[in-house]
Amino acid sequence: MSDFSRYVCWDVENVISTIQTEAVVASPAVFLSTHTRLGIQRCRINGRSFSSTGESVTEEDVRDDFLNRRTNTGTLLLPVVGESGSGKSHLVRWVKEKIKHSDDRKIIYLEKSKTSLRHVIDSLLDGVEDEEIEQIRKDIRQVTGTFTAASLARRLITQLSVTLADLGKDAVSGKKRQLVGPRGISLLLQDPLLQEQMLEPDHFIPRFAEHFLSDRASGEERPPRFSLDDLPLSPDAITNDMSAPTRQVFGMLMSRPELQVLAVELLNAHWDKAVQELSSLGGGRLLGAMQKVREIYARQGKEIVLLVEDFALIQGVQGDLLDAITETSERDGKTALAPMRTLMAITSGYFHDLPETAATRISTSTGGFVYNLDIVLGEGKTGTEDIATFVAKYLNAARVGREALERAGGDFVPNKCDECTIKSLCHGSFGASVDGFGLYPFNREALTRVVHSVAPQENPYAFVPRTVLGSGVIPILNDAYGSIGKGEFPSTFFQENYKVVRGVDKALPNSVSEDVDSRDPLNAKRRRKALEFWADAPDQLVNLPQGIGEAFSLPELDVEERGAGPGRSLPAEATSQPAITLVDAPQTPRVPPALQRKLDVVEDWAASGSRLTTEVANIVRAMVSRSVHYREDWLTPPIKPIGVGDAEGAGWTVKANTVSIEDASAEALNKSAAITLERNPRNGEFFKSLVRVHAQDADGMRPQDVVRLASTAETYRAALRERVALNAEHSDGDLVAALRVSLLGAALAGQVVPGMPIDTLYAAAFDKGQTWARPDISSRTETWVKRLETHLQHRAGLVEALLNSLGIGQGATGAVHVIDAARAVALVKEAAQQWDLSSIELPTWAKDAAHPLRAGWDVAVRGQLQELTTLVHEIRECFPKSSGPGDRLVQQVSTALQMANAEGITGPQGPELAMRAAAVAEADWNTVSVLEKELFRIADNQDQSAESLLAVVAAPRSPHLREMREYLKSADALLDTALAAARMQTQNAVSDAADQLAGLLVEWQQAVDDATPQAEAGE
């Protein structure tokens, strides 16, 4: 290992002080030491646009043209155009640094960072002493010192409203006439609510006010003009407080987009006048002042050189300034005004949108040409060397440091690499520019890819210097300073912020990424990024050049261990591209085009971050989800199988809610899906194998993917069972709820009550109840009977569903004959812990059977309790408690009845009593005492729980309870009738008959009354 391991040759402070994205910030020495030739094209002006002449020029060409071109008017206006960050102000600054000062030249430099009106005016009028000019300076100081940004913004919008209101219809043409005057768009600027919208922070007027009063921050762009977004046209703005005329103008603009465009044009066209009026520069004061300045310098024999870094910064005074700098210097054949040469930077977009008058002045005074700095490095011209040369100078400056550069003065730039002891290894691995400046920690490939990564998305080949430095070089150097020293570069920061641009740069093949993951899991992410950016995404796993591997702490791998044959070398590219060892790839058979397109989709998804198409995603989902289905044996634990065709209905779909794939089509990764497949190299290669098998190209499926598919099926079959159970509502929670319904239904039928042994409960829970009938139905309430009938109508379906969810189907019909008893018993035990459905969520398939057990169930139970209590009470009124058998009373009453019949004193009630006696002939009178004790225990202990009540109410009772009560009531009524008849006969009969009847009555009464002492003794 050399000294290059974790080596860093710059520091963060030097990066900040020497690599500047704003040309004006750097000192002259630092600026010149980092200056790199710009790509400049000479373009012809066509109105407010321009077209390339195909001529490329240098900075020296621009400087010489600017300083030496002769014009008939004695004035020259030379625009430098380009997008923001393209280097316009850099070129203007470079020209400034390269102009030799002389007594016959006055140089005025308007820096883009000094945007306040005071700075602009002071710079334009600098060095001139005159009362009128001094008064202008005082007025500007007063204006800029009086307002805050907020108050100035409100005054500007008011002044703009006045300007537009004063504008006559004859001053404009076409549809604009509808928008000017006191009843035009000036009304919108007067409405308080609409004003508030236009004064929101990101809109044009408040941002202009800030820059008008104070200088902008470095890198901050000033809005050049009004846009459609600045119009206060939110529908929410319409209120009852809005005046009718304002509402009319507002509605007209809202409904007619073409008028919105014209409204913006009016705002921009008359903005300067509003600014001038407010800043005391109206009436041509600035134009007059600039003319006086030119007159003074003309008398001194000087030429004025005006350098403007950003034309947008002189908003508000652009019209007067353009007039002043383009006005001819000759009057009556003599030089009345000093000649002027103006070099100014204008963004491309602003140039295209210039007011017509400004565009005409510029075109006339330039000779019809501009210099364009927009650089687009396309496929035919990658610009690799240009990029390397540009960045290398900044890298060298960061190594040398600001103090050393300023001591050198910019004429001679010291090369820090010349004194480096590891220069040979470093330049041999990372490369160097043609000037000899090392590219470390980049190389040519990495720099090119970084440039593409930070370029505008709509133009990935654009080379924007400010963006390359500000978004690429500076943050990477700052991050690498610490992460290289820790052995963590390319760091997570680099990995997340610098991506391969699809269609521009090749992504690291997914197969190589997977190989990296398996061979170097500890450094896999860093090595993949290093191979992609620094090794140009090779088709096979390679070792990085020695210096790159050592600097980035990425140890060499044994790339030949795959046994693919001897290695070969690629030719080295100058000093920047050392040999890279590769392993030859085995030849693969030609793939059908349709299949290849699908494989390419997977490759792009895994390697480049593109989305997986719906077609390919569905193939992967189908292969994975169905493999799980085929793997399931439905036996552990037993559950009724579903066919492949039934899987969709059972909840195991070929959709993202079952198999979710990261960035598949328009779907996000669904973490709640049964199976989630993230984007990574391993999954990319796995998907390719699945696509091949789906296309009946199984020979292309890798053996490890066959194993993985089987492993995936085994891993997720439990999820399949769970999904099927959830979809069919056969989860353990569903089954416990359904078993509780079944147990309550069995209790309703008198088959079980709370507290019974588990084997009894188990048997009843799985009984369809087709032979169930309560023997004590006569003592059940009507409500109880109806609920039982309703439950039994649905019970068979309930139990069948329970069997299907806990058993194994057999035979041609698939009927369940074997139940997983161990699981079922546990579920029955859990179900029997509560005998109430009021707060439980039921599966859909159990709701019909549960309906009579839910709504009003407590009322039904208590109603049945009251029924039993009443029966016992009425029986005891005629048959008090006794430990003896009740059939003795029946026998005694029967004997008395026979005697009464013989005497003819029973009347019509005799046959009824005989019939009721037959009904209770088999009755067990002891059951009355048992029931009575249970009822007493509930009332005495006040135990009103659902389980306690149901244990008494649902238990089967004597089928003769109601008959007992009716028999006793009939016997009591008949006894009263017979006794009354016997007394009458005794009074009227002869002595013998009366005696006989009296004896009968005594014997009968004794037979009935004997029960009472016995009952009392038993109690």
pLDDT of 583 over the 50 cut? no
Task: Give percent of the chain with pLDDT exceeding 90.
Answer: 29
pLDDT of 1009 over the 60 cut? no
Are 882 and 1014 in contact, with CB atoms under 8 Å apart? yes
Q: What Å distances lie between residue 766 and 28, 117, 483, 742, CA to CA?
A: 95, 92, 68, 8
pLDDT of 570 over the 80 cut? no
Comparing 385 with 575, the larger pLDDT belongs to 385
pLDDT, position 568: 31
Distance in angstroms (rounded) separating the CA atoms of residues 266 and 271: 8
pLDDT, position 74: 85
pLDDT of 595 over the 60 cut? yes
pLDDT of 295 over the 70 cut? yes
Distance in angstroms (rounded) separating the CA atoms of residues 348 and 292: 32
pLDDT of 521 over the 70 cut? yes
- Pairing relationship of beta strands 340-347 and 75-82 according to DSSP bridges: parallel
Distance in angstroms (rounded) separating the CA atoms of residues 252 and 820: 77
pLDDT, position 247: 87
pLDDT, position 849: 94
Q: How many helical (H) and strand (E) elements, i.e. helices and strands, does the chain have?
A: 44, 17
pLDDT of 566 over the 50 cut? no
User: Sign of torsion, CA 708 710 715 717?
Assistant: positive
Mean pLDDT of the region 940-946: 74
Distance in angstroms (rounded) separating the CA atoms of residues 384 and 102: 40
Task: Give percent of the chain with pLDDT exceeding 70.
Answer: 83
Burial class (CB in 10 A: 0-12, 13-18, 19+), 240: exposed
772-791 pLDDT per residue, tens: 999 999 899 999 999 999 99
Burial class (CB in 10 A: 0-12, 13-18, 19+), 817: exposed
Mean pLDDT of the region 415-441: 93
Q: How confident is the model at residue 523 (pLDDT cuts 50, 70, 90)?
A: very high
Structure tokens given for 273: 């006048």
pLDDT of 439 over the 60 cut? yes
Distance in angstroms (rounded) separating the CA atoms of residues 56 and 54: 7
Place of tokens 């800043």: 279
- Which ranges of 678-731 would DSSP assign to H, the alpha helix? 681-694, 703-727
Comparing 591 with 837, the larger pLDDT belongs to 837
pLDDT, position 571: 35
pLDDT of 574 over the 60 cut? no
Q: How confident is the model at residue 459 (pLDDT cuts 50, 70, 90)?
A: confident
pLDDT of 153 over the 70 cut? yes
Comparing 17 with 992, the larger pLDDT belongs to 17
864-881 pLDDT per residue, tens: 999 999 998 888 877 776
Distance in angstroms (rounded) separating the CA atoms of residues 925 and 935: 16
Which of 175-184, 467-476, 662-671 shows the lowest mean pLDDT across its residues? 662-671
Residues 6 or more apart whose CB falls under 8 angstroms from that of 247 comprise: 238
Instruction: Report helix, strand or coil for 284.
Output: coil
Instruction: Report helix, strand or coil for 178.
Output: helix
pLDDT of 489 over the 90 cut? yes
Q: What DSSP character marks residue 508?
A: P
355-375 pLDDT per residue, tens: 666 677 677 777 678 888 876
Angle at 660 between CA 526 and CA 625, to 5 degrees: 120
pLDDT, position 770: 92
State the maximum Cα–Cα separation within the chain, in Å, rounded to a whole number: 181
Structure tokens given for 712: 């995936």
Q: What DSSP character marks residue 543?
A: P
794-825 pLDDT per residue, tens: 999 999 988 888 876 544 445 655 677 888 89
pLDDT, position 262: 92
Structure tokens given for 266: 């009016």
| Highest mean pLDDT (candidates 73-87, 100-114, 487-501, 711-725) | 487-501
pLDDT, position 783: 93
- Which ranges of 99-214 would DSSP assign to H, the alpha helix? 117-124, 131-146, 149-165, 186-190, 192-198, 204-213
Structure tokens given for 817: 């004959």
Structure tokens given for 338: 């000093």
233-276 pLDDT per residue, tens: 877 767 667 888 888 888 888 889 899 999 998 998 888 888 88
pLDDT, position 358: 65
Q: How confident is the model at residue 988 (pLDDT cuts 50, 70, 90)?
A: low
pLDDT of 974 over the 90 cut? no
DSSP string of 621-682?
HHHHHHHHHHH--SBTTB-----GGGTTTTT--SSTTTEEETTBTTBPP-TTSSEEE-SSHH
pLDDT of 191 over the 80 cut? yes
Comparing 72 with 345, the larger pLDDT belongs to 345
Distance in angstroms (rounded) separating the CA atoms of residues 722 and 730: 9
Instruction: Report helix, strand or coil for 742.
Output: helix
842-857 pLDDT per residue, tens: 999 999 999 999 889 9
- Among residues 903, 878, 885, the alpha carbon closest in space to that of 971 is found at 878
Q: Based on C-alpha coordinates, what's the Rg of the chain?
A: 51
Helix (H) or strand (E) run with residue 382 in it: none
Q: How confident is the model at residue 484 (pLDDT cuts 50, 70, 90)?
A: very high
pLDDT, position 37: 75
Are 632 and 805 in contact, with CB atoms under 8 Å apart? no
Comparing 23 with 697, the larger pLDDT belongs to 697
pLDDT of 1014 over the 50 cut? no
Are 21 and 469 in contact, with CB atoms under 8 Å apart? yes
Comparing 967 with 356, the larger pLDDT belongs to 967
pLDDT of 298 over the 70 cut? yes
Are 150 and 206 in contact, with CB atoms under 8 Å apart? yes
pLDDT of 617 over the 80 cut? yes
Distance in angstroms (rounded) separating the CA atoms of residues 519 and 554: 12
Q: What average pLDDT does the structure give for the chain?
A: 82
In sequence order, what are the beta bridge partners of 577? 573
921-934 pLDDT per residue, tens: 788 888 888 888 88
Q: What Å distances lie between residue 339 and 3, 244, 296, CA to CA?
A: 61, 55, 12
